[in-house]
Amino acid sequence: MSTVVIAIIGGTGLDDPTIVANREELENIENTPWGHPSTIFKGEVNGETVFILSRHGRLHNKSPSQVNYCANLWALKRLGVTHIVATTACGSLKEEYRPGDLVVLSDYIDMTKGYRLNTHVGTAIENGGPRGIIHLPSKPAFDEDLREILIESLRESGVEHKTRGTTVCIEGPRFSTFAESCVFRNVYNAEIVNMTTCPEASIAREMGMQYASMAMVTDYD
């Protein structure tokens, strides 16, 4: 049976030392072919080793388009991570997705504008990155086994949640205009909108890690 090593990706709220026991910041992570990753911590949850990556940096000083997604995921892969649980804040596009709800994402629509590397293959060859090209299947968009584990955990905890949700991932850092939100809701039939799912989800899959994401609704978009 293969070893499962879990990483949690999220914002600066995950720097809360009460989340994990024996927390330590990893300060000697080697540089990746894409440069330096965001801050990574190592700790324990119920006796199991868990890595926590602060997507936007420890000081929350990286916008969604400035996050070094390739470096972050490469660093986690080198640490032996096999499964990633990502967290993200989101705006709701539909009334039944209420502020405070947790949404286990089931699909995404990539509306980023090309400022982000959307693959790790062939994008840093000169620095030791992999060559070639990957035509990546994207159905399902997230690992179904990991999604089911998240859903079951939410059921057991009694937390308000949605078991499915399509997110529109926008470039940011600005929020959507009203007209854009109407298009996302009425034309794309999406439930929520956020800024960090793409290309994080697809690059994790390229690197062979199982990835699922849980979004918290913060407001009505």
What are the residue numbers of the active site?
219, 221
162 contacts 97 by C-beta, under 8 angstroms = yes
Strands (E), the chain: 6-10, 21-25, 40-45, 48-54, 83-92, 102-104, 107-111, 161-162, 166-170, 192-194, 210-220
Backbone angles phi, psi at 196, to 5 degrees: -130, -5
Q: At what angle do helices 197-206 and 69-78 cross, to 10 degrees?
A: 40
